[in-house]
Amino acid sequence: MRINPRLIDKLMRGGLTFQALFTVAILVAIVLIIFVKGFPYVTTEFIFSYPEDMGRLGGIFPFLVSTLFLGVLSIAFATPLGIGTAIYLTEYTKESSLTRCIRFGVESLAGIPSIIYGLFGFIFFVIKLRMGWSLLSGTLTIAIMVLPTIIRTSEEAIKAVPNNLRTVSFSLGATKWETVTRVIIPSAAPGILTGIMLSIGRAVSETAAVIFTMGSSLRLPASIMDSGRTMAVHFYILAREGISLEKAYATALVLIFSILVINILAYYIMHRMIARFS
Amino acid sequence: MHRTKIRVRNLRLCFGKKEVLNGIDLDIYENRVMGLMGPSASGKSSFISVINGMINFEDHACFKGQVHIDGFGELSEKTDHVALRKRVGTVFATPIPLPRSIFENVAFGSRLKGVKKRSELNALVAESLKKAFLWDEVKNRLSESALKLSGGQQQRLCLARTLALKPDVILLDEPCSGLDPISTAKIEEALSELKRDHTIILVSNNTKQIARASDFVAFFYMGKLIEFGPTVKVFTNPEQKLTEDYVLGKFG
């Protein structure tokens, strides 16, 4: 017997709606659990005071600072390199075995587990270059880790810029570089920014690679050569070693909230850019 | 007597093995509108892409023969195309505003030349928009996005943007193909004023537009120049049967 197509249509509509809602429900559930378990312990004192007794008491101020530094510095290292690579791949070369090779390399880099980056960072930056467990070793390692994301998203964004804008720019006497900086990058900015946002999220929530390269010092880092502990690492240590689940959830809540703030900020910047250019 | 601005001798152009221009000899006169007409794929657009050097972006394109632009020099492999395009401006078939404000679109070329002074840019933008018959419609909203303009306005904006370069030569590649009659009339009106200061090449397969707007006509067919002469003569008393048939609308 043939099933009525209209019935299938209705069923599918219901099914797909359910799937979409289910995805949102998972997100809500995670945030809700963290919120309920962590919120009672998040106070201004918790955010702005130093930890005591391995984090059993006190706050997370040094970790907040380390997280901020790691996020900002790793993006500052990775963004110019990533966008530069994307520009080279899209504007300065034709498809060849070289570009295919670079692209394959970038994709492979994206597939490596973060702990391998941690191991590489430990051997290369911490030991070989004698940087020790430091913010610098950590940010360089994380910068390499997020590089593929920035390259791929920037490349897609640049490819999506209509070709006739390039033609017009050249016809008005612009050089290649002037066309890239004045026409292509501004048009591709929203897409590039999406990649940067994703990368910030990955950088501040990474644990394995960070522990290997930045260590997990409880102190507030005084320079980029000091060790430090990010909120994600702090959460991991608190929960794994059973030091304090309450503080762990509170830390997680602050971490999630920070990522949310970063994303909202990035969206805001993006929308202002789109409004200005179109 | 007319002064020759662009002298083309035995111009051959091929894409790979396919020859699209097949020995063109043509003089383009200063301060006149030269109309290039002919059916699609007759080589008109390829011809102007040699003159503005955009042909260099095509793969496997090669041209032989002489193209000499008075005040610039001979075009060859070694030509500085960035400098060439500051002297030879182009308006394309579809209006392509850059995703910026009206002001920034017109100022684009001057900013590339390093003009930074606001007063200088203001004067140039106003002058260019006036010459393109667009000033009255946009003078109060120069900071708005150019993408908000209508198609006809966008095309006049593109013309103004080209004029702001202060080029010697302006190439228009079917500039009115997608426009309404009123916008078309405005562009044609602008051209008749602009030829005082510029040499203009107008490509169109609309013979009526060529008849209205040009001083001289070159008729291209299948990569060959069939006939060249003053517009009135070519339209009323053509030498070639092919030209007559095309002008009368028997083919094309």
CB distance from B238 to chain A under 8 Å? no
Residue A30 is inside which H or E element, if any?
Answer: helix A5-38
* Partner-chain contact B96 A167, CB within 8 Å: yes
Mean pLDDT, residues B73-77 = 85
CB distance from B166 to chain A under 8 Å? no
CB distance from B126 to chain A under 8 Å? no
* Partner-chain contact A170 B89, CB within 8 Å: no
List chain B residues with CB under 8 Å of A164: 92, 94, 96
Q: For domain A44-277, give the fold.
A: MetI-like fold (1.10.3720)
Q: What is the pLDDT of residues B211-226, one digit of tens each?
A: 999 999 999 999 999 9
Q: What is the pLDDT of residues A173-208, one digit of tens each?
A: 999 999 999 999 989 988 898 899 889 999 999 999
User: Which residue from B92, B109, B145 is facing A278, i.e. has the nearest CB?
Assistant: B145
- Whether B10 is covered by a domain: the verdict is yes
Mean pLDDT, residues A236-256 = 93
- Whether B152 is covered by a domain: the verdict is yes
Helices (H), chain B: 44-51, 81-87, 102-112, 118-131, 135-138, 151-163, 181-194, 207-213, 231-236, 241-247
Strand partners, B13: B21, B63
- Whether B140 is covered by a domain: the verdict is yes
- Whether B90 is covered by a domain: the verdict is yes
CA distance A42 to chain B (A): 45
Range of the structural domain that residue B206 is part of: 4-247
Per-residue confidence (pLDDT) for residue B78, from 0 to 100: 81
Per-residue confidence (pLDDT) for residue A48, from 0 to 100: 92
CATH number of the domain bearing residue B207 = 3.40.50.300
d(CA A82, CA A104): 15
Strand partners, B91: B172
Closest CA in chain A for residue B148 = A278
CB distance from A169 to chain B under 8 Å? yes
Per-residue confidence (pLDDT) for residue A214, from 0 to 100: 94
- pTM, entire model: 0.84
User: Which residue from A165, A173, A278 is facing B96, i.e. has the nearest CB?
Assistant: A165
Query: Domain residue spans in chain A?
Result: 5-41, 44-277
d(CA B211, CA B228): 13
Neighbours of B16 (CB within 10 A): 9
The candidate with the shortest Cα–Cα distance to B194, out of B128, B109, B238, B126, is B128
Answer yes or no: is pLDDT of A270 > 80.
no
* Interface size between A and B, measured as CB pairs under 8 A: 60
- In this prediction, residue A276 has a pLDDT band, given cuts at 50, 70 and 90, of low
CB distance from B144 to chain A under 8 Å? no
CA distance B168 to chain A (A): 13
Here the tokens at position B185 are 């009339």
Residue B172 is inside which H or E element, if any?
Answer: strand B169-173
Contact call for residues B98 and A183 (beta carbons, < 8 A): yes
* Partner-chain contact A172 B147, CB within 8 Å: no
Q: What is the pLDDT of residues B12-62, one digit of tens each?
A: 999 888 889 989 999 999 999 999 999 988 899 999 999 998 888 887 888
d(CA A65, CA A176): 41
Chain B residues 79-98 within an 8 A CB cutoff of chain A:
82-83, 85-86, 89-90, 92, 94, 96, 98
Per-residue confidence (pLDDT) for residue B36, from 0 to 100: 95
List chain B residues with CB under 8 Å of A179: none
Between helix A245-277 and helix A185-205 the angle, nearest 10°, is 180
The domain tally of chain B equals 1
CA distance B59 to chain A (A): 11
CB distance from A112 to chain B under 8 Å? no
CA distance A200 to chain B (A): 28
Answer yes or no: is pLDDT of A277 > 70.
no
- Whether B252 is covered by a domain: the verdict is no
- Whether B81 is covered by a domain: the verdict is yes
Mean pLDDT of chain B: 91
Neighbours of B238 (CB within 10 A): 20
